[in-house]
């Protein structure tokens, strides 16, 4: 696995995966190609001698074909939390979670790249309550049916330095006197970004992971109210968290859809109707022990 194309590799999880791979002695002479829509978004990865950042439109089949040439494996990470409304999912979800995997599968087959590692989401299902989760399931199906050497990863919510989850609440706490919270009882089993990155990196070199699907969770289940209360307290701004009734939460999310980069959508609320927890407690493969949130979160939320 000398040449690896990491699509979506400039983001929160992708960056951790590329850093993890670059740290491993087996990757000393590897080359990771990271396409991005905006090169400056990947500035933090320019220091890695094994990573090539390329400004490219991965939705363009000809560009994707060029990127795929000479690769030994592909890691597919593109994901969006806001994809619009629609049945079975909004256009943005269709493009990022279904059409892009279709294009990746086609380009991989043409270029003779068999090994594909794809990051989906825990509880993705065709009958899931949200467009996000339904489109993630459709993307998994596309890749499963493509006959590639596929490994799928389905993490619960991921935390770590640079996350847009606990960090968002910690930031909001600086300006908000209290928290009106949608989905306060929604359940999560947060998993550390470095644990997910290590599992993906391990899988790249383990042929026995071909055909496997890994649900990835941390050691503890929480509801959103507990997570928000914890994050704001650790950040030094303890706040009262008030769970919103469903109708009010729905209205708030609808209003936030009109704000650029608004923190919540109606589809996000639908996603939270299903518990993002692992069925069999804490699960990380290869004998890895999941890192508790309480050990890591204070290191990046404080201050
Ligand atoms: N973070 C979590 O809690 C979590 C939990 C479960 C599953 N996941 C899944 O894990 C994957 C990675 O998540 P993340 O948190 O690392 O996401 P992220 O930080 O938002 O990064 C997303 C990556 O995808 C690229 N991207 C986004 N939209 C795109 C589009 N429309 N076309 C082309 N490229 C696009 C971005 O590239 P640019 O450089 O071009 O911006 C970036 O590299 C996603 O599939 C996500 O659904 C994440």
Q: Whose CA is nearest to atom 17 of ligand 1?
A: 11
What pLDDT digit, counting tens, does each position of 231-249 carry? 999 999 999 999 999 999 9
Split at pLDDT 50, 70, 90, the class of 213 is very high
Average pLDDT, the chain: 95
pLDDT score recorded for residue 279: 83
Cis peptide before 88 (omega within 30 of 0): yes
- Regarding the beta carbon of 217 and ligand 1, being less than 6 Å apart is answered no
- Regarding the beta carbon of 219 and ligand 1, being less than 6 Å apart is answered no
**Distance from C-alpha of 189 to C-alpha of 204, rounded to nearest angstrom:** 24
pLDDT score recorded for residue 260: 85
Structure tokens at 90: 């909004």
197 C-alpha to ligand 1 centroid (Å): 14
- Regarding the beta carbon of 14 and ligand 1, being less than 6 Å apart is answered yes
Q: Whose CA is nearest to atom 38 of ligand 1?
A: 36
- Is the pLDDT assigned to residue 153 strictly greater than 80? yes
Residues 8/77, Cβ–Cβ less than 8 Å: yes
- Is the pLDDT assigned to residue 128 strictly greater than 70? yes
DSSP-H helix ranges across the chain: 12-23, 61-68, 91-93, 100-111, 131-145, 166-175, 193-204, 224-234, 246-256, 266-271, 293-301
- Regarding the beta carbon of 36 and ligand 1, being less than 6 Å apart is answered yes
Domains along the chain with CATH numbers: 3-158+191-216 (3.40.50.720)
Q: Is the dihedral of CA 176, 178, 183, 184 positive or negative?
A: positive
Split at pLDDT 50, 70, 90, the class of 157 is very high
């Amino acid at each position: 696995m000398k040449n690896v194309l990491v699509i979506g590799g400039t983001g929160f999880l992708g960056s951790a995966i590329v850093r993890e791979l670059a740290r491993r002695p087996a990757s000393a002479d590897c080359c990771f190609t990271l396409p991005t829509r905006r090169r400056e978004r990947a500035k933090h990865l320019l220091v890695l001698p094994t990573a090539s950042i390329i400004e490219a439109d991965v939705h363009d089949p000809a560009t994707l074909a060029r990127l795929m040439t000479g690769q030994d494996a592909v890691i597919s990470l593109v994901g969006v939390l806001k994809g619009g409304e629609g049945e079975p999912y909004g256009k943005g979800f269709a493009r990022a979670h279904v059409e892009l995997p279709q294009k990746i599968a086609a380009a991989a087959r043409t270029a003779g790249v068999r090994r594909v590692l794809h990051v989906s989401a825990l509880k993705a299902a065709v009958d899931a309550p949200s467009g996000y989760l339904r489109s993630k399931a459709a993307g998994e199906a596309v890749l499963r049916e493509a006959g590639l050497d596929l490994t799928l990863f389905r993490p619960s919510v991921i935390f770590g330095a640079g996350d847009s989850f606990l960090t968002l609440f910690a930031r909001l706490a600086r300006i908000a006197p209290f928290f009106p919270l949608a989905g306060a009882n929604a359940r999560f089993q947060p998993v550390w970004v470095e644990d997910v990155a290590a599992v993906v990196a391990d899988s790249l070199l383990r042929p026995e992971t071909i055909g496997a699907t890994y649900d990835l969770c941390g050691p503890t289940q929480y509801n959103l109210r507990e997570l928000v209360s914890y994050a704001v307290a650790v950040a030094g701004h303890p706040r009262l968290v008030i769970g919103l009734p469903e109708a009010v939460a729905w209205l708030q999310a609808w209003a936030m859809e009109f704000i650029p980069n608004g923190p919540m959508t109606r589809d996000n609320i639908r996603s939270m109707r299903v518990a993002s927890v692992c069925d069999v407690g804490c699960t990380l493969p290869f004998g890895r022990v999941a890192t508790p949130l309480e050990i890591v979160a204070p290191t990046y939320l404080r201050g």
